[in-house]
Structure formats: structure tokens, C-alpha cells
Structure 1
Amino acid sequence: MSATRSRLAQWFQAQGWSPFPFQEEVWRAIAQGQSGLLHATTGAGKTYAVWLGALQALVAPPRKAAAASAPPPPLTVLWLTPMRALAADTLRALQAPMQALAPHWTAGARSGDTASGERARQDRRLPTVLVTTPESLSLLLSRADAQELFRHLKLVVVDEWHELMGNKRGVQVQLALARLRGWSPALMTWGMSATLGNLDQALQVLLGPQAGGTLVRGQVPKSLQIDTLLPPRVERFPWGGHLGTAMLPQVIEEIEASRSTLVFTNTRSQSEIWYQSLLEARPEWAGLIALHHGSLDKAVREWVELGLKGGTLRAVVCTSSLDLGVDFLPVERVLQIGSPKGVARLLQRAGRSGHAPGRPSRITLVPTHSIEVMEGAAARAAVAAGQIEAREVPAQPLDVLVQHLVTVALGGGFEPEAMRAEVQRTAAYAQLGDAQWQWCLDFVRQGGPSLAAYPDYRRVAPDAQGIWRVPDARLARRHRMNIGTIVSDASMQVQFVGGARIGTVEESFAARLKPGDCFLFAGRLLELVRVREMTAWVRRASGARPAVPRWNGGRMPMSTTLADALLDQFALAEAGHTDASPELQALRPLLVLQQRWSGLPAPQRLLAETLKSREGWHLFLYPFAGRHVHLGLASLLAWRVAQVAPRTFSMAVNDYGLELLCATEVDWPALLPQVLAPRTQEQLLHEVLASLNATELAQRRFREIARVAGLIYQGYPGERRSSRQLQASSSLFWEVFRQYDPGNQLLAQAQSELLAQELEIGRLAETLARMEGQQLAMHALARPTPLAFPLMVARFREQLSNERVADRIARMVAQLEQAAGGADEAPPPAEAASAQVRQTLAFDGPESSPSRRASPRRNARRPRG
């Protein structure tokens, strides 16, 4: 190994580098055969810390007597990446030092994007180091010769561990690692992460609860600048998205001031709108700016990535598709459109600029409404205090486990007791009980009691030696085609008539279009020609007002960490420290007015406001717990109030608070302390389920669970099934299990996932407990305050067309500004204001409307009983 160390030192010196202490620490740990987790800032050199340590420890020089044509070493290092788009970039980074340090090693990538010829070569012989995804690893584990395939494996590296550990893909990785360790007990495992708050737990989840490991914190001096692009005038009565078009000139100025910029948006729809708006404002930028999101065709995404690497693109408007891993050294700065929703996401995106040790990173927040201006100061304070969100780990998702059991049954088979011991060596299933394990075995053997008569669900059976295998080749093929835990709505290809594919849109969006309708996609205005066989055939269009595709899953709730930091900013303002940051200075007119008409929220005080209007009796409550928690809390409070007397409520939520509106009188000052009184955990669970249409919501979760568990499948290549077909299949299973197999564990999992993930029952309970300890400050209003106004707008935007919304918003703003008085400048005339609002609605409409489950029409209900 001394020769390898010498070559390593020479290679480092040739690059003009010197190793950081944390890199040398990782090298020593790998040389000693240890496993661990490396946590360091983005661009600090994590990849080479682990990779060069692996080369130093694992590369043996080729024998002199060996012929030049001798085969390279077998698979030795497995490098897992969460996104197949990162595989090619990661492979290039790993290959850079191999010629000098391991010339006889080979390297390759294997994912859904791998060409069939390359995959066929790998089927004959895998490279020495393989970059792959969790799904492709599971496919390799399903091969009959899987144990032989991984016999020489020495090291597994899990890149971007923070992106995996908090979801079912991370559970899939845990199970795969347990399988590999069972075959090779000395196997080393290293994870890498840049944005994790719960590092000790992350290490335990990666290595297993009983295993020890090394936690390395990479402390590399790196300048990080977080600032806010302040609007020319901060509106005192903001509403979601109202700063959309207003900030376009400033965004253009910032792009012009930098060599290369990433413009991050939170959703694909928003990225389409911003890209088109930039081009309309600067048509000469055609070819110099680009669009990147996960629904675009692979060839388009690769062209954009190469343009960023080569420094030929001035700006790229993108989504989380560029959050991770890829090294774009020319990028000087990042703009974040709207709230980042969390500190970890902010840091991750900031690290895309200055992506090298010693280079400064800069991220600028572009607020889409006035209150978001304060989030810049809040995020900066949280980063300075080292406050980063923890990632919660899914507990015992049985759909992932039954999928893994079928995978292992294909990959050589398993013996139940030994398999259970292996599974319980993972953090996710360490507490797996006897009844749950037996249910999983019964489920893969015959589908449980309700499906026992159907051959398609007899997927695994013991052979004469007691080894459980998949006896049916047809079921084996079907399982391999549907391995994975990524579940999304069925997508429809978008393709030019007689031309190339452009990308995909969700079927639910395409189903609303008819031939001749226009929509904006991939930065182009397209006209739908026809829909056939899950393909939308289009041609270029011009002059029509387009629709914008909407993809599900784009609305993220604000994290607790960022929400707490935001409350601290309100406390600073209340104490008179509005000069503490440029953001607070800009917001001073809004904050002064909020305090004059009502009060400011604070960490130790719960702000509530009541208002009587022509619509009825309003309650505005500001827990600052994120929209998911506020949705559950609004439903819960409405249900509790309705137990006193039957009432119907409408509601609206955002990340800061909630509104409840009743057409009949409600004595909120008397009722609110009563409905906020503490309950036991059991009472809270009962009330949350009673206050929502829990059956409908759980059934939607069940569809995803049924897909992962193998009850329904999305078809073979070329056989695309529609959402309607998949939903019909899952609904049938749902009803069968409820009637004939009520103890089915997947039904219970659907409810638990609904509570934990969609309604965030744990965070809801914590919010209620915190509210119990806060001082309730209730203010009776004469008119809506700056904090209440966006909730009112969010509610009636669901009820009115954009034209009527624009007129109503403009009229309300004019009336409120007149009542407020003392504005720094006169508000625009009502007609001009209405036109400006209409323009903003057209620009930002798809992103600013509240969740459908929060709409008043779906949530206006009469209490049960």
C-alpha cells in the first residue's frame, strides 16, 4: 500500500491540491477497515475523501507476470447515487484519478439510462467499481447468481445519504446493505452528506443499530452568503405570489451581473413560467439560458448540464433536478424563487455555486410575497446558529419489505428465520414483531387469506429444501419490471407530430386538454393535436394564452426549523430591532401596521385574530407550523367547535397560519381556549381521524402502497397503464381487504402513513403542546391585518375566476391602504392595481393557490352526529 500512497500524494500534488484534515481522517479509517459517515459542506471534497481512501486501501498492484490482457479485478466498490442523472457525473469524477492510481481497474454506471449494449456487457462481467441507483442494485440482487456477483465486494458508498434516509428508497437501501453484509461481514459502508441535523441517527440508520462506525465532520472554511433580493416597495397587504412579475427586472439584473447563475424554483410549473418570462423580457438570451426539470427528455437535460459545465449558459431555470451532486464549477451564484421551505434545502442549493473548496457560495432569495422577505433573515440566522432539519426515518414499511422478500427469493432464495434475522439488522425493521413477519411471509406466499385462490399472488413458495423461491417465470419477469419505491401519477409522453420527444406531463393534466388547446412546456408554446396510446402529440403554437402543466407533489410545507427562526425575527421586530437586517428594515411598514391593528406573533405567544365581515365570523390563527399541520389543525378545530353546536366551516391555510370562516355566529374568544385544551394521544388520534375524510385520504395512500407491495403493476415496457386503470385496481383491492381481510397490514400502513406523512400527526401533536404553553393573544379586528389578508385571498381564489379575483384583490387592497394611511407612497389607482393583479395571477396562478384539500368547497362540512 505504500506505493499506492506515494502515487496518491503525487497525483494530489499534480492537481495543485493538498488534502484537508477530514480527508486524511477518512483515508485512515478506510485503511483500517472501518465504516462511517462523512458530513461536510457541498463542494468541500467529500467524493475524493472516500474515493481516494478506497483506492489507497483496496488497490493492489497487478502482478508482473500477468499478461496485459488479464481481466480487471471483479466488482470491488459499489457507489450508490440517489438520482440516475448523477451517475454519469459521478463516474467522471471517479475515473479522473484511476489512470494514475488504479490503471487496471474498470469503472461503469448502471441505471435506467444505461444503454442496452452496455448493460449486456455488464451482465457478462461487472466493472471493478459500479455507480448505480437503489433500484438498479435491487435488480442485481434479484439475479440468481447475486451472491457470486457480489462475492468480492469490499466497499459500498452511499452518496447524498440525506436524500435517501428519510424515505422508502432509503429503507430499500438499508435492506440491500443488510443482504450484502450477510454475504460479506467485513464489508465497509460509507455514507456522504452535506445537510443533516441528526448525524448520529443517520450513522446508525446507515450501518444498522448494532454496528459501530466513524462519524467524520469535515470542517472546511467556506464563505456562504445568504441575502434577499428586496422589492422596490414592500406591500403592506401581501398575498401568495403577488411579487411574481414585479421581481422580474431585478432577477434579470442579477443574472446579468454574474457569469453563470442557477435560478431555482420549487416546482416544475413555476420553472416553466419563469423561463418563458425571462425569454420574453430578453429575447436575445435565446440559446444562452435554458430550462431543466425532471419531466424534460433526458437528451434535453444532458445538453443543459453540459452547457453549465462548459460555461456556455448564462442562466438555467431549474427545480430540485439540479439540487444534488453534479459539479457545475462555472456557476457563480444561485437565485431561489420563493421560500426554500427549509434550511437544509437552502444550503443544498447554495452549494451549487462556488462548488469547490475555498470558493465562496452565494444564494439570493427572491420573495414571491412580502412576508417571504423575512425568511431570508430567518434562514441566515438559522444557518449561523447551525440549525439544520433532522431527517425522520420510516418505521417498518411492510410494502417495501414484501417487495424485498420477492427480490431475495429471485436472487437465490431465502430461509425464513435467517432472513428475519437479516432484516432485523436494519434500523427500519429492528422492532419487527412475530405477527408482522408472519403476515409478510403469508402475503408473498399467497396474497393473504383474501387472495389465496388467485395464482398471480402466489409469488414465493418453499422448495423441497425449505428455501423460499419464485416458482413462476412470468411472475419473476413482472416483479423485476416493477422493482422500486418511487410512485407517481401516470405520465404521458409529449412528442412533436413527426418529430422528437420533448418530455412527459402528468396524465391528470393532459386529460383536461382537448385538441387545439395550448400549453407551455419545455419553454415552448405547444398546441395539442391528439392523444393516442398515452402520448400527447403536439405542434408549435403562437399567440394563444397557454395553460401551464401542474405536477403533483410540488407544494412543500415549511420546516419547523425555518418556522422557529421566522418567529425569532418577529420577536426582534417587536423589540424594536428592525435595523437588525435589511429584510426587517424593508418590512418595517408592514410590521408596524400589523402591530398597530393587532399584534405580532412570537415564540412564547400565540396570535389569534377575529373578524366579523359580510361573509361571516372569521378566526385567524398563526401557529407557524407549515401548511400540512395547519390543514390538520384547521380541520381539528372546526370539528371540535362543531361538537358544541352544529356548524359549517370554510378554511384556508398557508405556512404561517390558518383561517376558519363560519356563516353563523361563533364566539371565538370563549370557544378557542376550550378547543385548544390538551387531549391525550389517543383522543387526538381519534379526533384527527374523525375531523377528516380519512378513508378517502388513506385510500389514496393505499394506491402507492399496493404498487410497491406488488399488488398492482404499471406494466411491461411499451405497455403504459393509465392512472384510471391503476386507481381502479387499487380501489378493488382496498374494498376486498376492508370487507374480507380487515386485518391486512397494508390497510393499517395506509392509515399510519396518512397520519405521519400527509397530516404530520407527530408535528401536529407537538404544535398543540407548544400552543398550550404559549400565551394566547386574541385581537378583535375591524379589518384584515397584513397577516390575515393572504389567508382571505387564498380562500376566495378557489371560488372565483382570475378576473373577479383580480378586481376583488385590488379593491380590498385599496380600501385597506386607505384605512391604514401613512404609506410611503400612494397606492396605484384601482384600475391599474386590478390590471397588475391580473398579470400576476396569470404569471403565478398555478403555484399560489392553496392545496385542494384546503379549498373551502372540499373542506366545508357539517360535523358528524
Structure 2
Amino acid sequence: MTLPACIINWFDVRGWRVRRHQLEMLEAAGAGEHALLVADTGAGKTLAGFLPTLAEFAGDNPPGDGLHTLYVSPLKALAHDVQRNLLTPINEIGLKVRVETRSGDTPSDRKARQRAKPPHVLLTTPESLSLLLSYPEAATMFAGLKRVIIDEVHAFATGKRGDLLALSLARMQALSPGLRRIALSATVADPDEFRAWLAPDGAADAVRLVVGEPGAEPEVTILNPEDQRVPWGGHAAAWAVPQLYDEIRRNKTTLVFTNTRFLAEYIFQLMWDINEDKLPIGIHHGSLSKEARRKVEGAMARGELRALICTASLDLGVDWGDIDLVVQMGAPKGSSRLLQRIGRANHRLDCASRALLVPGNRFEFLEAFAAQEAVEQGQRDGEDFRPGGLDVLAQHVMACACAGPFEETALLAEVRSAQPYRWIDEVQWKRVLEFVATGGYSLRAYDRFKRIVRDRQGTWRLAHPEQAARHRLNAGIIIDAEMLEVRFRNGRSLGKVEESFGATLSPGDTIRFAGMDLEVEGVRDMELVVRAAKTPGQIPSYGGARMPLTTHLAERVRGLLVDRAGWARFPDDVREWLEVQDWRSRLPGPGDLLAESFPHAGRHYTVYYTFEGWNANQSLGMLITRRMNERGMQPLGFVANDYSLAVWGMKPVDDPAPLLSPDILAHEFVDWVLESHLLRRAFREVAVISGLVERQHPGKRKTGKQVTFSTDLIYDVLRKYEPDHLLIEAAWADARARMTDVGRLGDLLDRSASQLVHVKLDRVTPLAVPVLVMIGRERLPDGAVDDELLLEAESLSAAAMRVG
């Protein structure tokens, strides 16, 4: 395939040249190949993905009506941004191409029109695509589809959203056998794994790997305190707000990333408190209303904001070229994630992106330093692929039934062509079909669980036509906590807060949300009604999953701890912290699992330096305290962060080795998960995803309490009468992989036999202070601890740093 002259001229007018990787993507399309493009941010990846489509519409025989190209992104904001940027070359070249978006924010009348008369190019998300495929018109709509472009593929391919998209790709490939798949990313650690995920039938060799031209090296610096020390603990990095404000004043546009919605609101308010120049500063996160998000996105695109405080809602691919500085508040948690965020600055290949890292505490300083080095060396990290979820497969089967009757053997072949589900055999397949048809053996007597039936010819179809509407109301993969809409009395929506947070509020209470102080008037019909307030209030907390510290970054931090010659690069207080630790005890290097035991305030503490992330450390704390209790060691509690776990009790731990033996996963782990709410919570999520429990009925949505009651009731029945039920199996998979990170925990316990180093001390050590200052605050929202509260840690830090 060659590039038409009108497109070449368009590049020339803009002073651009066609990049090598863009031409190679055009070549792959001409050869009828699937392709994965891995290129730096600003390399024109999205344009490279669309270039074959633009070339076909600019050719002598342009495609006619009908859906030609489908673009899938992980974020609604990214789809809308791509629409804006894609329309520029289309309009300037003069191509007759209709481009539209489709997401949860799209009006229902437009969705209906798109099914009847689809645009040439449709921009959507995995969830909206799955719903679109559930309509009978899908077979006609997708029959002529030539190309699907998956942007930022690393962001969701390894999770349940990737499972759903892989199944949708398999469905579209069956409807349009000539379909070609394209995936784009700047931060793929193992391209071959992603090529296998992208390819039909998992054949990685069937996907051409295109590596982009290298761009300018990013400029990454770490912000050091001007007149104070790096804090011992806390994650908010509130100490840096005055310096950050100075950076905003010095730059044209600054994008400030935080790791949680709470922190976005918190930092935004701190910034406004010192905004003497009245600079236009905005906020953006996933819980704000669509109108609020669109408004701030438009303002950024027009260059009207000096700074925007945001979360992962703007991580991926948003092209605002005038951003000259990206700030990461708190630890980055991974080099790929950091690189992705850095790329939002100077979104051009030949222009270096500038980024500033702001650590919240001393361990986060080391993590920021490790991430800075990884970015400089081009190192990538990411999550591992795992088998596709059975709950997602059940949802997909129901979507297929909504589109029309299916034959089970043909659909199984289609499902197994998706890489995450190549492991599904006929036995598992029949279990899935039986579940969708009846709910499973223990629930088959209840008509409400009968969703599909098999006719005499063996074809599966909906048990009743109304099942299609029920499926479309409830389908989805992202299971957030139940939310309350925050509205003014006139109906204007500001966004959403979690129902559990809203339940703590009474009329007259004040909250700080969407950058405003609001007084609660009352709660009605899943809405929190508010009015403007003059007094500041509490910031809503959200129970979202914590970003895990990647294994790659954890190993780099370990390396920094024992690289004594390299400590000279650190601020004085961080260097002193490590030097006193080295003198008093020892440092946990890459080959060590260090455990320190010491008395403090009448109790006995043991701190385990695992570097395995919060989930694994939290799980280990539960298991160790259970084992200590069984052995009469009188444990009193534990607290964990990404780097370490502190356990305390009335009796000293003379030898931690028996507490860390790998058999703890065979015995205590199973008992703990069964007795705790972990499996129950995991079951709640898979029950909703699989469609067994519905959150929404026409005109009414269940409250979180109602959903919990329903799922708990079913869970208790299945645990008692059918413990091998499909959803119990799916819940166990989630509890092991996501909630407890049992893979990293198992690796840690396996290493403990050969790597454990136990040091007994007479007092607390410097390295232990960051986790010990969390005691008593672990129930607070992540990031809620203002650094000023850490004054309570003075006695700990004084004891730790005393060398006499």
C-alpha cells in the first residue's frame, strides 16, 4: 500500500515527515498482516494506526458506507481526544470519512442510529464494544469491518477488560474473517506476549512487530525539599505544594498526576489555598461528572489552564502538546506507568518530555530514584498475563445469545481462538453453558437464573426476549463500589462518591468535592443533595485498588539500598537514614529477606522487609498473626506498606523462620480466606460480572447493601451445597491473584528458607520507622495522613537515629 499524494502533501504543509514506523504500518496493512507497534510517546502511533484507513479513503476507489475501522481505547477521555485529533487530517485533506465515538456517555438515540447507520470509523471502549456485539444488528454491522485498532494495549490486555476485548475480537473475526488487528503501545515490556494476545489463535508469529523510531530522552528530576527534610512517612507529599506552585508559575501548562482520587482532591485544595495569583487550575478524575470532565478536557485542549490535577483518568495517550511539565505526586509504582505519564509532556517525538517526581516519604524517594534510572535506561515493566476469567466468559456467552441463537461447538472454537481462553476444554465449556443456562446445580430450581435454553436441534437461545435488555443494563467489567450521585437541588450533577462514604454523612455536614465546599442537604434515591458551603469539609474517600509496586522496581530499590557508593547522590537526610541503619543493623539487599526484632514501648516488634507490595504484605501479616496466635505468641496487630510488614505482640519472636514456612499457603491461607470477607467480596464481583446478580433493573438501581445481601445469600448456599461451583472457582482465582497477590507471596515464602536474615536489636531501627508511623492510621484513606501528623513519630525517629 502506498501513501496517496494528498496525504504526503498534508505532511509537507505541516512541516512533518512520514516516520519509518508509520510507513511500515502502511506496508503491513498492504500485506494483509496484523501488527503491533511499539513506539515512544509522541511518535505518531495513533496516526500510524489510522494511516492505512486514511490512505484507503484517499485512494481512487474509497470505501463506501458501513463500518470500516474500529478504534478501541481503555479510556473515554482518550477516545474523545483521538476524535478531535483524527478530524484534523480528515478535514484538512478533505476526506469524506464519518467519525463518531460510542461509550457509556453516548446518548441512547445516537447509539441506536449508529447500529442502523454506522459511521466509517467508530471510537469506543471494550465494554461498549461488547454491548454493541450483543445486538442482532451486529452480524450485519461488523460484516464489512476491515481494521480494528487497539490503543494503549498494555493498559488492559493483562486484566479482565483484556479478556473481554479478546473475546470481542474473536467474535468480530468470525463475523468478518478478513479483519486485521492493530495494537499500539509505548510501554510494552515483552512484545511477544502481546503479539500472542493480539493474534487470532494465539500465534505470535502472525503479528508483525513494528518498533518505532527512537525519540528524545525524557528529562526526569526528583524534587528535593528546600527548607525541610524528606518526611519519614505519609504519601500525600503535601510538603512539596509551595515548591510545586512555583513550578506551575514558571511553566506554561503543568499536568500533576496523583495515584488516588482522594489525593487529587486533597492536592487540588492545597494548591488553591496558596494560589495567590489566581492561576486557572483544574481537577480531573473518574468520579467527576461527564460534564465536569469534558469541560476541563476542552479547557486543556484550548490551552486555558495553567495546571491540571488528575489521576490515571488521563494516563493514556491524551494529546495536549502544550504541556511542558508533568509532575508525579507520590511514588510512581512502576517504570512503564511513569514513562506513560511523562509522555503527556511535550507530546512530540523530537522534543524531550520534562517530568518532576515528588516523593511522599523516604522509601518513596528511593522508589522515585529507581524509577528515574529505569526510565533513563529504557527499562519497562508490567503485569503478567494470566488465564481468562470464567465470569467474563459467562458474560460474553450471554452477549452472544442476545445477538442471536448460537451452536455451542462453533462458539467454543471461537472462544478458544482468543489467547486468554485457549485453556478452555469441553468440560469447562459445558460448565460455563450450564451456569449461564441455570445458575448451576444448586440454583437450577429458580426460574430467575434461567437465561438461555437449548432447543431440540441443540442450538442455544435466550430463555425470554427480556433477558437481552437485562443483560445490557448490567453488563460490564469495572465493578466499582456502589456510588451516590452528588447533585445540587436544581439537578446539576457534580459526580459521584461511594455509598459507604455517603452513609457517614448527615444533613449539615460539609464535604470538599470537585474543588468545591458543599453542605449536605440530604440523601434521596441514590443521590446526595448538596448546596454551596462556606466552611471546608472532609474529602471523600474511595476504596479503589492500590497501584502495586512492580517486581522490577522493587529489585531496583533493593539495589539502591546496598549501593553505598551511590548514596552520595541522595539528600543528606536520606543518606544519613541509610548510614545509621547500616551501622545499627543491616540493609536488605537483592539476595536478602531481612527481619528485624526489637522491643518498643513495652511491646515486641518484628519488621519484615519484603518489597512485595501492599497486597502481599497485608496477606502475610494476616497469616503470620494467625500462626503466632495458634502458637501462643500473643500477637497484637500488624501494619504493612509496599516495602515492609511490621508485626507486634506481647512476646518476642526468637526465630521468624517457622512463621514463614511455605506450608502456610497450604493450610492457614485457605482457612484465612474462607473465614475472612476476601472470598465473599471476590464472589460479589464475579457474581455481578457473570450476570448472576443484577445491579440494575429498568428505572431502578439496587443499593450496595441490596447487592451485598443478594450475593452473600447465594454465596452461603453455594459454599454449603456446591463448593465447586463455577463462580466459587472464579472467586478463588480473583482472591489469589488480585486481592492477596498470592503469586508474589508464594515466591517470598519459597525464598525465605535460603534468604532469611534475622537481626535482634535493642531498639527501633531507622528503616522500620516509615512503617511503624502508620500504626493507628491504617484505617484512614490512602494519602489522608497530613505530614504534620507525623510529628507523633518524633520519639520513634529519635530512638532510631540515636547512635549512642
Which TM-score bucket, shorter chain as reference?
A: over 0.9
1:697-846 equivalences under 5 Å are 697-716=678-697, 718-774=699-755, 776-798=756-778, 810=791, 812-814=793-795, 816-817=797-798, 820=801
User: Can you give the 5+ residue segments of structure 2 that lack an aligned partner in the other structure?
Assistant: none
Give the Å deviation of 1:561: 1.3
The 1:59/1:458 distance shift into structure 2, 3 A limit, reads farther
Give 1:22's aligned residue.
21
Q: Distance in 2 between matches of 1:570 and 1:312?
A: 43
- C-alpha separation in 1, matches of 2:361 and 2:710: 42
Change (3 A) 1:484 1:677: closer
1:247 is paired with a residue whose SS is: helix
| One-letter amino acid of the counterpart of residue 405, structure 2 | G
State the 1:423 CA deviation: 0.7
The Cα shift of 1:798 comes to 4.9
For 1:505 and 1:818, locate their aligned partners in 2 and report how far apart those are by CA, in whole Å. 41
Shift of 1:720: 2.3
Offset of 1:765 from its aligned partner?
1.5
Matches within 5 A, 1:549-698: 549-573=540-564, 576-579=565-568, 581=569, 583=570, 587-645=574-632, 647-663=634-650, 665-668=651-654, 671-677=655-661, 679=663, 684-692=665-673, 694-698=675-679
| Residues 168 and 394, structure 1, Cα contact 8 Å, conserved in 2 | no
Q: How far has the Cα of 1:434 moved from its partner?
A: 2.6
Secondary structure in 1 aligned to 2:347?
coil
TM-score for both structures, normalised by structure 2: 0.95
In structure 2, C-alpha distance between the alignment counterparts of 1:675 and 1:821, rounded to whole Å: 31
Look up the equivalent residue of 1:766 and give its one-letter code.
D
The residue type equivalent to 1:539 in the other structure is R
Q: CA deviation at 1:501?
A: 1.2
What does the per-residue CA deviation read over 1:705-745, in whole Å, with 9 as the maximum and x for residues that have no partner?
00011111121464122100110111111112122322211
Counterpart position of 1:255: 248
Cα contact 2:74–2:125 (8 A) shared by 1: yes
Shift of 1:55: 2.6
In structure 2, relative to structure 1, the CA distance for the partners of 1:817 and 1:141 (3 Å cut) is same
Structure 1 CA distance for aligned equivalents of residues 21 and 784 of structure 2: 58
What's the CA shift string for 1:651-700, capped at 9, x where partnerless?
Answer: 1111111111111x2342xx223334455xxx633332234555521010
The residue number in structure 2 matching 1:35 is 34
**Change beyond 3 A, Cα 1:199–1:701:** same
The AA in structure 2 aligned to 1:268 is R
Q: Distance in 2 between matches of 1:351 and 1:530?
A: 43
- Which of 263, 273, 279 is residue 270 of structure 1 equivalent to? 263
Residue 143 (str. 1) matches residue 135 (str. 2): yes
When residues 817 and 57 of structure 1 are mapped into structure 2, their CA distance, relative to the original with a 3 A threshold, is: same
User: What secondary structure sits across from 1:578 in the alignment?
Assistant: helix
- The equivalent of 1:858 in structure 2 is none
Q: Tell me, in whole angstroms, the C-alpha distance in 2 between the residues paired with 1:225 and 1:806.
A: 28
Q: Residues 241-269 of structure 1, C-alpha deviation per residue, up to 9 Å, x if partnerless?
A: 4x743222111111111110011111111
Distance 2:73 2:780 in 1: 45
| In 2, Cα distance between equivalents of 1:237 and 1:154 | 55
Partner residue in 2 for 1:44:
43
Amino acid across the alignment from 1:264: F
Looking at structure 2, the residues matched to 740 and 611 of structure 1 have their Cα atoms a distance apart, in angstroms, of 48
Residues 1:123 and 2:115 are matched in the alignment: yes
Paired AA for residue 273 in structure 1: Y
After TM superposition, give the deviation of residue 383 of structure 1 in Å: 2.1
Q: Which residue of structure 1 lines up, in the alignment, with residue 233 of structure 2?
A: 239
- How far 1:309 sits from its partner (Å)? 1.4
Aligned-partner Cα distance in 2 for 1:324–1:474: 37
Farther-moved stretch of structure 1 (638-647 vs 795-804) = 795-804
Change in CA separation of 1:643 and 1:520 when aligned onto 2, cut-off 3 Å: same
The one-letter code sitting in structure 2 at the alignment partner of 1:140 is: L
Separation (CA, whole Å) in 1 of partners of 2:372 and 2:28: 34
Q: After superposition, give the CA deviation of every residue in 1:414-445 in whole Å (9 maximum; x if it has no partner).
A: 10111111111111110112321111111122
SS in 1 for 2:70: strand
**Other-structure match for 1:104:** 96
Q: Which amino acid aligns with 2:706?
A: Q
Residue 306 of structure 1 deviates from its aligned partner by 1.4
Q: Is the 2:657–2:753 Cα contact (8 Å) retained in structure 1?
A: no
Letter in 1 for 2:160: K
Q: Distance in 2 between matches of 1:270 and 1:804?
A: 10
Is contact 1:234–1:587 with CA below 8 Å preserved after alignment? no
Query: How many residues are aligned here?
Result: 801
1:505 aligned residue: 497
Distance 1:761 1:370 in 2: 27
CA contact (8 A) 1:196 1:391 kept: no
**Distance change (3 Å), C-alpha of 1:502 and 1:158:** same
Q: TM-score, normalised by structure 1?
A: 0.88
CA offset at residue 755 of structure 1?
0.8
User: How far apart in 2 are the matches of 1:7 and 1:468?
Assistant: 50
Coordinate RMSD, CA, aligned: 2.6
After TM superposition, give the deviation of residue 796 of structure 1 in Å.
2.6
Contact 2:577 2:767 in 1 (8 A): no
Give the superposition deviation at 1:300. Answer: 1.2
CA distance 1:809–1:256, change in 2 (3 Å): closer
